[in-house]
Amino acid sequence: MKDGVNGVALGVFIFFFLAVTVIGFLAARWRKAESAESAATLDEWGLGGRSFGTWVTWFLLGGDLYTAYTFVAVPAAIYAAGAAGFFAVPYTILVYPLIFTFLPRLWSVSHKHGYVTTSDFVRGRFGSKGLSLAVAITGILATMPYIALQLVGIQAVLDVMGVGGESSNWFVKDLPLLIAFAVLAAYTYSSGLRAPALIAFVKDGLIYLVIAVAIIYIPIKLGGFDAIFSAAQHKFAGPPGGKPTGALVPGEKSQWTYATLALGSALALFMYPHSITATLSSRSRNVIRRNTTILPLYSLMLGLLALLGFMAIAAGVKVTNGQLAIPQLFEDMFPDWFAGVAFAAIGIGALVPAAIMSIAAANLFTRNIYKDFIKPDATPSQEAKVSKLVSLVVKVGALVFVLTMDKTVAINFQLLGGIWILQTFPALVGGLFTRWFHRWALLAGWAVGMVYGTLAAYGVASPTQKHFGGSSKEIPGIGEIGYIGLTAFVLNVVVTVVLTFVLRAVKAPDGVDETSPEDYTADAGDPGVATELPPATAGAAH
């Protein structure tokens, strides 16, 4: 590690940070609504006017899904434990055929009825504000640690550049992160979803550039991939006669963990509010279909990125916090100016998803808590104003989360959110294809999954913490170690199915379904889509 502040890298980082800040504020004028009245709505601020085409949506979804978590935590997991960290690669492969089946249906029904969130759809489909509230609260809870993880990514590169990390004064130490947070909050408040949509072009361009250079340049400096894998194998083998610290290939005992974590993560990814927000911002059903076919390009990038964990081992990177491994690798191996480019890629890779996530969480609060339970007669402009304010509160919450919690377990914060958000799958995806599930059964299944998943995760210890130390535990009845979220999901589905049979048998009352079969295949321009309806009336039937 270099002593002091890396001035050249910091200068390059600040240049790109200022550039995207300017872009973020200018985005308010990009594709601006035709009238001031329509501009002051949640559709405009929170969904970019539902106007994005194929490439804007592709960059937005890529910027949304491939985050600072991707750049920092995935290679860090491989640096610490070996190939088990590659679970992120197969799950991003599994997810695209999955979303091809249901995202176009969600887009269609959402545009038909003016739904802004998944909870809007659940309320309209099942006629249940209680179930809608459960989905909204889960989305907000799951999003908070995910935003925090993005701030951890920014803090990691600042620490490696020597900015604030060594100071004993908490304010001085965290001041750069506070500044980054303030700028993010300001342009998100001003420009809404348009800001991350524009910045995503810069973010993804930098990430592709850095990975292309890293995958060629660093192995050349380290003597090739043979030397890299040999160094990793030597480290994971542990001292002679000692316990292995990891593996280049997951052992037989860890295969259930690997497989269930990959499958559970794939099922959860597009349950997150930010994924759906980016999806609903697109202008047509075909934009969604095209994106599911070209988004796998990011999976190729992710596979190459994951190899950086092995390179950090071969380069002799030594850090006490695994989240610093890849930023430190860049500082050690790259010229200072290009290290600054790499740090900027990570930093901007945190700003884009953090902005989208805070908008998505704010939309959930506004539409499914504030409008449904506090002020049912809220006007479109009041909705937009509340959502803007709540997006600030969400960011503050994530910032407090980062500044007060142990940052070495950042990946486990996100995995805990995955456990929670996966429990909304039966209501959302099930509701897109069938209305057989009873609303009360779905709510009970959700509650069982949430309680089991949280308690099981609470009981997992690690060398650094007594609780919430991981996301894998023995699967009841099987005896293998598996992903807690998937086990909770199975319990959720079982309870939902059994209770649905019981409730149907006793003829428990259904809620009113405001959707019709043709709504799920409607496209932009079809008669009656929400773009032709007053936003204030969208979803107001319940």
Strand, helix or coil for residue 462: strand
Whole-number average pLDDT of the chain: 87
For helices 194-222 and 225-237, give the axis angle rounded to 10 degrees.
90
- DSSP, res 372: I
Q: With CA atoms as reference, report the closest residue to 1 among 130, 140, 156, 111.
A: 156
* Calpha distance 315→333 (Å, rounded): 8
- Strand partners of residue 218: none
> Tens of pLDDT along 251-274?
777 889 999 999 999 999 999 999
Q: Which strand (E) or helix (H) includes residue 482?
A: strand 481-483
Q: Which helix (H) or strand (E) holds 390?
A: helix 380-404
> Is residue 484 within 8 Å of residue 457, measured between CB atoms?
yes
pLDDT at res. 82: 87
* 196-218 exposure pattern, b = at least 16 Cβ within 10 A, e = fewer: bbbbbbbbbebbbebbeebbeeb
**What does the pLDDT read at residue 539?**
36
Residue 208, C-beta contacts closer than 8 angstroms, at least 6 positions apart = 301
pLDDT tens profile 315-332: 999 987 777 899 999 999
Contact status, residue 484 vs residue 538, Cβ threshold 8 Å:
no
Q: Tell whether the model's pLDDT for residue 37 goes beyond 90.
A: no
Lowest mean pLDDT among 166-180, 308-322, 336-350: 166-180
CA distance 159 to 485: 32
DSSP assignment of 50-70: G-B-HHHHHHHHHHHHS-HII
For the ranges 56-65, 387-396, 404-413, 418-427, the lowest mean pLDDT is seen at: 404-413
pLDDT at residue number 470: 79
Window from 270-274, 366-370, 405-409, 418-422 with minimum mean pLDDT: 405-409
Which strand (E) or helix (H) includes residue 290?
Answer: helix 285-294
Q: Which residues pair with 247 in a beta bridge?
A: 82
Residue type, 524: A
